């Protein structure tokens, strides 16, 4: 298994979290609504929107794209950061190499079982540390933490790390997801403290 370590931020002292964040070793569950129940035999992941070819993966095919393990930070907008996380799963780039999007596609809406959505720009998704995770710190994800598959976008606040993902919709223009429609920032970069959209 390939192991890469992502240094998320170029800070002098790794123990320093981004501004306004408090470091914790805990991993609290934060879900709006309830944990969906997902049957792996029915599990589907769809690639839609601004694409030249729509695609659908079942669970075995998705995992067969090739899993890696990496370490990264996790920053919740409610001001806790866990700086030491190990995730195993399929890098976004690995999926990206299997799909055909249109040239105009610059953003994506991530879709989840239960209806949650969040928008992430393509350049952020193409970072080496973005991963569709099946395991956290060596253990299979629990349902509350997004099993069977969740997205991890380490360089964005964790509401962008969508749990129970079931699809990605490519977009030419940015559009708000669930929390972004309710006032959270469209980009959500922790280093810039982009917590809430100042226009709202």
Ligand X SMILES: Nc1nc2c(c(=O)[nH]1)N[C@H]1C(S)=C(S)[C@@H](COP(=O)(O)O)O[C@H]1N2
**Per-residue DSSP letter, 125:** H
Which of the listed partners (Mo ion, ligand X, none) does 35 bind, with a CB threshold of 5 to 8 Å by partner kind? none
From residue 118 to residue 157, the character string flagging contacts with ligand X as x (rule: CB under 6 A) and all else as - is ---------------------------xx-----------
Q: Does 76 bind ligand X (CB under 6 A)?
A: yes
- Binding residues with Mo ion: total (CB under 5 A): 5
Q: Does 32 bind ligand X (CB under 6 A)?
A: yes
Question: Binder to ligand X among 111, 155, 156, 163 (CB under 6 A)?
Answer: 163
Which of the listed partners (ligand X, Mo ion, none) does 162 bind, with a CB threshold of 5 to 8 Å by partner kind? ligand X
> Contacts from 37-42 at CB under 8 Å and sequence distance 24+?
37/143, 38/113, 38/143, 38/147, 38/148, 38/164, 40/148
**Residue 161 CB, nearest approach to Mo ion (Å):** 9
Q: Does 31 bind ligand X (CB under 6 A)?
A: yes
Residue 69 has φ and ψ, to the nearest 5°, of: -125, 135
**Structure-block tokens of residue 73:** 């930070």
Q: Does 17 bind ligand X (CB under 6 A)?
A: no
Q: Does 24 bind Mo ion (CB under 5 A)?
A: no
Instruction: Determine the residue with CB nearest ligand X.
Output: 116
The verdict on whether omega for the bond into residue 148 sits within 30 degrees of 0, i.e. cis, is yes
**Residue 12 CB, nearest approach to ligand X (Å):** 26
Partners of 117 in beta bridges: 111
Applying CB under 6 A, the span of 11-19, 22-30, 45-53, 60-68 interacting with ligand X comes to 22-30
Q: Which helix (H) or strand (E) holds 94?
A: helix 92-96
Q: Which helix (H) or strand (E) holds 95?
A: helix 92-96
Contacts of 163 (CB under 8 A, 6+ apart): 31, 112, 116, 145, 146, 150
Instruction: Tally the C-alpha atoms within 13 A of residue 131's C-alpha that lie toward its C-beta.
Output: 27
75 or 111: whose CB is closer to Mo ion? 75
Q: Give contact residues for ligand X (rule: CB under 6 A).
A: 27-32, 76, 112, 114, 116, 145-146, 158-159, 161-164
């Amino acid at each position: 298994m390939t192991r890469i370590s992502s240094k998320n931020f170029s800070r002098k002292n790794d123990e320093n979290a981004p501004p306004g964040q408090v470091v914790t070793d805990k991993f609290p569950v934060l879900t709006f609504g309830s944990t969906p129940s997902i049957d792996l035999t029915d599990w589907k992941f769809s690639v839609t929107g601004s694409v030249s070819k729509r695609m659908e993966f079942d669970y075995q095919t998705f995992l067969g794209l090739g899993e890696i393990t990496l370490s990264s930070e996790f920053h919740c907008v409610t001001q806790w950061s866990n700086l030491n996380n190990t995730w195993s799963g399929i890098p976004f780039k690995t999926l990206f190499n299997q799909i055909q999007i249109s040239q105009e596609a610059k953003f994506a809406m991530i879709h989840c079982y239960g209806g949650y959505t969040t928008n992430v720009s393509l350049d952020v998704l193409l970072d080496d540390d973005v991963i569709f995770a099946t395991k956290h710190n060596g253990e299979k994800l629990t349902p509350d933490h997004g099993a069977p598959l969740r997205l991890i976008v380490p360089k964005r606040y964790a509401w962008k790390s969508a749990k129970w993902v079931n699809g990605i919709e490519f977009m030419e223009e940015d559009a708000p997801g669930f929390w972004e429609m309710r006032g959270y920032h469209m980009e959500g970069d922790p280093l810039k403290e982009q917590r809430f959209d100042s226009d709202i």
